[in-house]
A = this chain, B = another copy of it.
Amino acid sequence: MKELQSEYQCAINLVIDLIGGKWKVLLLWHLNEGDKRFNELRRTIPEITKKMLTQQLRELEGHGLVKRTVFEEVPPRVVYSTTDFGHRLQPVLYGMCQWGDDYAEKEGIQMNSCWTGRDFMKNKSDLS
């Protein structure tokens, strides 16, 4: 698993290391809607491989942004959810998304949303 550096120039670089994985923002977004199972996430994001899904979830878990709960059943059931710390990251992600959407519009870059203004508002009541 990806280890964080022991020291950073700036906390922003730490945040980038935490959420900079290719699928992490998308995963945090989906987990933000509610708890999800492994194959549920796979169906929601068909392009991701099992290896990458496992890896990104494990890193988010190891860094304390996501919680992994295993139910000892047959067949096995594993549920992922956001932690309090992960939840408090939402307004920050929202701010990034706002600026990024502006930038994308100005530069004519295509965007598939997640944390756009409208989608986020649905969950705004979640914020303290």
Residues of A within 8 A of B (CB): 4-16, 18-20, 22, 25-26, 29, 64, 85, 88-89, 91-93, 95-104, 106-107, 109-116
Q: Which of B16, B19, B22, B92 contacts A95 (CB 8 A)?
A: B92
- Output the nearest chain B residue to A113 by Cβ-Cβ distance: B10
- The contact sample of 27 A-B pairs, CB cut-off 8 A, is A4-B107, A4-B109, A5-B109, A7-B112, A8-B109, A8-B110, A10-B26, A10-B29, A10-B97, A10-B114, A11-B97, A11-B111, A11-B115, A11-B116, A12-B100, A12-B114, A12-B115, A13-B22, A14-B100, A14-B103, A14-B109, A14-B111, A15-B100, A18-B103, A64-B107, A85-B106, A91-B95
Output the least CB separation between A30 and chain B (Å). 11
Contact A104 B20 (CB under 8 A): no
Complexed CA–CA distance, A15 and B20 (Å): 10
4 nearest A-B residue pairs (beta carbon): A11-B100, A10-B114, A7-B110, A15-B100
User: Which B residues touch A106, using CB under 8 A?
Assistant: 85
Q: Is the CB of B4 within 8 A of A93?
A: no
* B15-A114 in contact (CB<8A): no
Q: In whole angstroms, how far apart are the Cα atoms of A58 and B99 in the complex? A: 21
| Cβ contacts under 8 Å, A25 to chain B | 9-10, 12-13, 16
